[in-house]
Chain A
Amino acid sequence: MLTLRGITKRFGDNLAVDNVTLELRGGEILALVGENGAGKTTLMRIAAGELTPDAGTFERAGEVGFVHQHFLLVSDFTIAENLALQRSWSFASLRTLEGEAEAIIAATGIELHGPSRRVEELSVGEKSKLELIKAIAEKPRVLILDEPTSVLTPTESAELFAVMRRVASEGTAVVFISHKLPEVLEIADRIVVMRRGRVVLETKSMTAEDLAQAMTDRPSPAAAGEGARRAGEGILAIVGVAGNGQSQLAERFRDDHPDAGLVPEDRTRDGIIAEMSIAENLALRSKTNAEALIKLFSIKATSANQKAGALSGGNQQKVILARELSRKPRMILAAEPTRGLDIEATAFVHAQLRAAADDGASILLITSDLDEAFALADEIQVIYRGKLSERMPPAVARERVGALMAGLR
């Protein structure tokens, strides 16, 4: 259906895709796995024609549908209007717009009612369905889904898988990009592992441990020591599927406690100032000894004067932590602190947070990573559509969290 040969793509110094050859076959669900930065999304964007490769060729046999990780929807428009953006309508009156939208949705077999509803009123799961409908409606020969389950509840994920299987059975080549191994093992007919821009493994069956090893070239870490809970106080974890009000919660906390230690969700956009040097970023709160902090937090940089934007994600996070935690604040907010970080960096962040809690700080941890929450938290709350559940100790939370995240009480 689509064959990629010798594809290479560079972004400046960064070799994102390194001489990759891959074949996508109709009727098959292919899982493309790897850690953040492995090159999966870049490769697929090339396949879809959104990016041009620096080298290599590809042959395509039809339309490629792409379900993006970050929705390409106009929140102010209705479902029907968003669908209309793709199709070639000319003069459209409101009534036919919605009728046609309903027909399109019905044809895809996905359930999404009320095409006159505005996108900003939809739940995250419904927005995700709309993205999927947009992609499938064009009857593509290849369908690529980029981390589609990161914002779905378990039930919604199951519905998605059913759709993927149906589409595949109709002859489409389905590509599923993910870093969630259990799901991959459940749905995929074939698995391709990428690491640092290269394909390192292609297989039809494998165990989770072996997969993790192939992705990172390191033995998969032991479960993050829940037993190592020390008798300290103060980490409250707010868990939930992304898009349920976490950002608003974080911003309110920030506005109420500007002197707290603040680690925002989007570290590149909100955490560091990319155009300023590491030293300047560290000094934003108060005078600091940049060299000392760089050493203390093991920040990998060419010098204190290097622009913060040039650092890797993990090191940017270290800069933020250094700036915020070195002040020994009484309160700390950490929003998705380990998103996109590799295993080492994640362990470092967790250690820092634990140390701060041991020192007596009270920490508000917002995360969509359940393992992280259970590893660190003393108490857990679930957020759904902007509302918080009551606080629960981790043991209780274990049983209820799945239902709570889906909005059931």
Chain B
Amino acid sequence: MRQVAAAIAAILLLSLSALLFGRSPLELLSILINGSVGSRFAIDGTLLKSVPLLLTGLSVALAFRAGVWNIGGEGQFIVGAIAAIIASPFGLVASLLASMLAGALWASIATAMRLWRNAPEVLTTILLNFTAIHLLGWCVNGPLQERGAQYPQTDTAAAALPQLGEVHAGLLIAIAASIAAWFLLYRTAEGLRLRAAGFNARAAKWAGIDVDRQLVRAMAMSGALAGLAGGIELLGVTHRLFERFAVGYGYSGIAVALLAQLHPLATIASSIFFGALSTGAGELQRTANISSNVAIFGQAVVILVLILFGSWRARD
């Protein structure tokens, strides 16, 4: 189980790096574990964090599977949240749908540029991320700013996800999405074609598959998932938009997807792992004053270890 080995190796490396800053690796490790799964509160935090990670992870997994480099999860997440709050007066379902639509459209900008202008989507999606961040900045400082215009944030959303104890219903939606993605990829003809195009676009063409059409569909679905992640985060956790709404869930989705070897069901476990890492890092910040950036660092280490083990590629 290379994946488990990679995850463990990453955590160990992470702990060891504490030495660089004059701290004890054991101390770091124990705070990480305690802070992520050591109490009811911690576990709730972990689950909460894993919801958007699961969805952005699915977004990346689906795209990479189809052979598309969608690194735009961050931007799609943001526009999904923006659309959700705009649509929130029309109800919960409308908001969620709006977030998916917005994410899909945002991603499709990159698709269009790739099909019509040969612009590599790996770059366009990243550039769209930066654009979305500033779009958000404009929204919360301008047209969507709260009544009273005191802080750069919006009013509370008119709709909200129902709570399930300490966690919100978004968790169920995310798991449902994961199962739906699995079903699509492995039990439908469309999914077969998508995977084929991802493995070998040339051979897929020779088998009569319209690779361009697969690209459009995959990017749209991928964008929709990331947009949904943003909408759920808004409607279930923050309830309002503010400048630093996007804290890297889009980019973290890459690590989640790779650890899951691009398999939709494995993304569930992978997202919990990274959710734990993120929550644990937060605890590190609170108790040991070690910046929570360590979580980002941890994601990078996991990815690099996975590359070394040669085990991030899709395996059926």
Contacts and interface: CB of A to CB of B under 8 A. Distances in A.
A and B touch in the complex (CB under 8 A): yes
Interface of A: 254, 258-259, 262, 264, 269-277, 280, 283-287, 323
Interface of B: prevailing SS? helix
A283 B191 CA distance: 12
A273 B189 CA distance: 15
A274 B189 CA distance: 18
Contact of B206 (A254, A274, A277, A283): A254
A275 B193 contact: no
B202 A284 contact: no
B207 A276 contact: no
Given A276-B195, A280-B192, A285 B200 contact: no
Interface string B181-223: 0000000010011011001101111111110000000000000
A225 B204 CA distance: 36
Given A254-B206, A262-B208, A275-B200, 18 more contacts: A264-B206, A269-B202, A270-B206, A271-B203, A273-B200, A273-B204, A273-B207, A275-B314, A275-B316, A280-B192, A280-B195, A280-B196, A283-B192, A284-B192, A284-B196, A286-B189, A287-B189, A323-B207
A286 B189 CA distance: 8
Interface of B: 189, 192-193, 195-196, 199-200, 202-210, 314, 316
B311 to A, nearest CB: 14
23 contacts: A254-B206, A258-B210, A262-B206, A262-B208, A269-B202, A270-B202, A270-B205, A271-B203, A273-B199, A273-B204, A274-B199, A275-B200, A275-B314, A275-B316, A276-B196, A276-B316, A280-B192, A280-B195, A280-B196, A284-B193, A284-B208, A285-B207, A285-B208
B203 to A, nearest CB: 5
B257 to A, nearest CB: 17
Given A276-B195, A284-B192, A284-B193, A262 B200 contact: no
A293 to B, nearest CB: 15
Contacts of B316: 275-277
A272 B203 contact: yes
A283 B193 CA distance: 9
B5 to A, nearest CB: 22
Contacts of A286: 189
Nearest to A275: B199
Given A276-B196, A276-B316, A284-B192, A270 B208 contact: no
Contacts of B203: 264, 269-273
A310 B206 CA distance: 20
Contacts of A284: 192-193, 196, 204, 207-209
A59 B189 CA distance: 57
B93 to A, nearest CB: 34
Contacts of A323: 207
Nearest to B314: A275
A277 B208 CA distance: 18
* The 5 A-B residue pairs with the shortest CB-CB distance in the complex, in nearest-first order: A284-B207, A264-B206, A258-B208, A273-B200, A275-B199
A254 B205 CA distance: 8
B205 to A, nearest CB: 7
A183 to B, nearest CB: 33
A271 B206 contact: yes
B184 to A, nearest CB: 15
A287 B189 CA distance: 8
A272 B207 CA distance: 9
Contacts of B200: 269-270, 273-275
A323 B210 CA distance: 17
A264 B196 CA distance: 16
A262 B202 contact: no
Contacts of B195: 276, 280
Contacts of A277: 316
Contact of B199 (A259, A276, A285, A287): A276
Chain B CB within 10 Å, residue with most, of A272, A277, A284, A287: A284
Chain B CB within 10 Å, residue with most, of A254, A273, A274, A286: A273
Contacts of B189: 283, 286-287
Chain A CB within 10 Å, residue with most, of B196, B209, B314: B196
Contacts of A258: 208, 210
A275 B195 CA distance: 10
